[in-house]
Amino acid sequence: MPEWSVAEPQKLAFDEPLTTLRVRIVNGTVNVVGTDEGSARLEVSAIEGPPLLVTQQEGTLSVAYDDLPWKGFLKWLDRKGWHRSAVVSLAVPAGTRVEVGVVGAGAVVSGMEGHTEVKGVTGDTTLVGVTGPVRTSTVSGSVEAQAVTGDLRFNSVSGDLTVVEGSGSFVKADTVSGSMIVDLDPAGPTDVSLTSVSGEIAIRIPHPADTEVEANTASGAVSNAFDGLRVSGQWGAHKITGRLGAGTGSLKATTVSGSIALLRRPPGEDEPTDITPDAVPSDAVPSSDAASSGATPSAPTDKKVL
């Protein structure tokens, strides 16, 4: 089995066919880009602390610390591991399966067509132009997905999710306190499911749209930019329900105390505008806190947010 110990900046090329890439680092940055070439290239441009172990066996290329296992990765918080850092860049065939684990490091994955999985403890992840299925898990790191057309799954404790021009057929995201900002491309996705405990949710829907909508919050504010949807609930829980177009798609958003905003993407717009959870207007249907304070609640009518 070919094996290299990389303790200083170095470049390596691999001629053998590659089916799987596995990278696990602490601090620093991982860049993975898909190419049309049949070979893989690795560049370690900076490294501090223990060396990285690079191995290639039966179509699998691994770049990792030997004391950092993939199994139980999100629980790896060994303090002695913080005294290490590496900047790793890889160019691999676009169809390669990619598994990246980062602790305190940033990860950028672009142009991949195969299955991509990213696990992060505190590092942020950026996905650009990924067409294969994606699965991301973080403790507190954020995930930004730009022009991702593959199915996207996101799970986090307090990390935020931002989807820009999402056009995959499926988006499923779960977080405890992180916010979720999802901008949907007119081409999709077909099914969207977002769940949060206290995080805020903002969804920008194409117009005209074609989806069945069900959004619920137990005590947060809601805002709706579509006449075809109904806002119900005046004290405590609030719902936004209804059908847009033929309703062939599905959009479900659930949060306990976070706010929910459904925004409209104008027809024919090429560039998405920035949206944030703050897009929920101050006069949206109030939370139960406002009701308990004696304030007079607004009538549960549709709100326009353009």
Label the pairing between strands 170-175 and 85-93: unpaired
Q: For the chain, 306 residues long, give each residue's pLDDT as a single digit of tens.
A: 689 999 999 999 999 999 999 999 989 999 999 999 989 999 999 999 999 999 999 999 999 988 776 666 555 555 554 588 999 999 999 999 999 999 889 999 999 999 999 998 888 999 999 999 999 999 999 999 999 999 999 999 999 999 998 888 899 999 999 999 999 887 766 899 999 999 999 999 988 888 999 999 999 999 999 988 999 987 779 999 999 988 889 999 999 999 999 999 877 654 444 454 444 444 443 333 333 333 333 333 334 332
Rounded to 5 degrees, what are φ and ψ at 99? -125, 115
From CA 247, how far away is CA 63, in angstroms rounded?
46
Beta bridge partners of 3: 55
From CA 300, how far away is CA 30, in angstroms rounded?
47
pLDDT at residue 54, rounded to an integer? 96
Rounded to 5 degrees, what are φ and ψ at 133? -65, 145
Structure tokens at 201: 């949710």
What secondary structure does DSSP assign to 57-99, as a single string? ETTEEEEE-TT--STTGGG---GGGGS-EEEEEEEEETT-EEE
**Residue ranges covered by each domain of the chain:** 1-109, 142-306
pLDDT at residue 69, rounded to an integer? 67
Nearest to 238 by CA among 289, 277, 304, 278: 289
pLDDT at residue 287, rounded to an integer? 37
Judged by phi (left if over 0) then psi (alpha if -120 to 50, else beta), residue 236 lies in left
Residue type for 16, please? E
